[in-house]
């Protein structure tokens, strides 16, 4: 996640970036923060094809991320941005966990390293965000994972900075529970159908081979009898 260097009573946005050889189709994120120092305002996806459902309470935000085609993060890209407002001076962190990562092939992805966001709040702050740390897992075998091992963020060192923006925030539009259930059910059904088709193909191929072998034996026997008669 990106770090922030902000004055009190200011709006700011930090991005969560990811990098993997897999396309990200689904994941569950849970962000935790100290409500004495910062106030959560909004979370949104960066990719237009992605949807989220958000469950929030003081000090905690849970986000279910979905993208039916899978977001390409091979080069490292932002997945979510979170908007906060600073309250009082001090140093605090936005920690998070990530679980149930699924790629576009409906396979689990094991999560690699994760780095939290460091938020420094003081009167003469530069008002900048940056220093995004990329959470990565380039293991070629990760698409074969059956556990979907999650990850928990660690606190970063001092933040590096780039230009930031204090744009006015707007409310997010979370999707309905039914849509998420349908999407996850659809992925399960798709995987099940592919498995059934694979089994049916194997059975059909085996039956065809047996039939062909039976016909060949019959023809060979007929030819042998004919030769004997001659």
Tens digit of each residue's pLDDT (9 = 90 or more) over 153-184: 887 654 433 333 333 333 434 444 445 555 55
Helix (H/G/I), strand (E/B), else coil: 212: helix
pLDDT at 134 over 90: no
Q: pTM of the predicted model, to two decimals?
A: 0.65
CB count in 10 Å sphere of residue 150: 17
Q: DSSP assignment of 30-96, as one string?
A: EEE--TTTEEEEEEEESSTT-EEEEEEETTEEEEEEEEEEEEE-TT-EEEEEEEEEE-SSEEEEEEE
Which tokens sit at 203?
């059975």
Q: Is residue 200 pLDDT above 70, yes or no?
A: no
What is the Cα–Cα distance from 156 to 70, expressed in whole angstroms?
28
Q: What percent of the chain has pLDDT over 70?
A: 63
**Structural contact between residues 24 and 101, judged by C-beta atoms closer than 8 angstroms:** yes
Residue (of 150, 124, 155) closest to 137 by Cα position: 150
- Which class for 97: exposed (0-12), middle (13-18), buried (19 or more C-beta within 10 A)? middle
Contact between 1 and 160 under an 8 Å Cβ cutoff? The reply is no
- What is the arithmetic mean of pLDDT over 106-119? 90
| Structure tokens belonging to residue 219 | 């023809």
**Residue 136 to residue 113: CA distance in whole angstroms:** 6
Q: Over the stretch 8-46, which tens digit does the pLDDT of each residue have? A: 999 999 999 999 999 999 999 999 999 999 999 999 999
């Amino acid at each position: 996640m990106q770090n922030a260097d902000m004055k009190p009573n200011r709006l700011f946005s930090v991005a969560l970036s990811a990098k993997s050889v897999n396309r990200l189709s689904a994941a569950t994120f849970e962000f935790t923060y100290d409500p004495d120092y910062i106030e959560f305002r909004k979370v949104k996806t960066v990719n237009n094809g992605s949807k989220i459902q958000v469950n929030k309470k003081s000090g905690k935000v849970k986000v279910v991320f979905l993208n039916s085609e899978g977001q390409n993060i091979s080069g490292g890209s932002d997945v979510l941005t979170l908007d906060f407002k600073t309250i009082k001076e001090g140093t605090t962190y936005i920690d998070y966990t990530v679980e149930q990562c699924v790629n576009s092939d409906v396979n689990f992805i094991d999560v690699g390293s994760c780095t939290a966001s460091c938020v420094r709040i003081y009167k003469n702050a530069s008002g900048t965000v940056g220093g995004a740390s990329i959470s990565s897992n380039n293991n070629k075998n990760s698409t074969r994972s059956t556990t979907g091992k999650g990850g928990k963020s660690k606190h970063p060192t001092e933040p590096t900075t780039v230009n930031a923006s204090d744009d006015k925030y707007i409310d997010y539009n979370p999707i309905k529970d039914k849509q998420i259930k349908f999407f996850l059910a659809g992925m399960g059904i798709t995987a099940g159908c592919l498995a059934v088709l694979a089994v049916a193909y194997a059975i059909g191929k085996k039956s065809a081979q047996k039939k062909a072998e039976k016909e060949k034996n019959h023809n060979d026997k007929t030819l042998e009898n004919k030769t004997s008669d001659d």
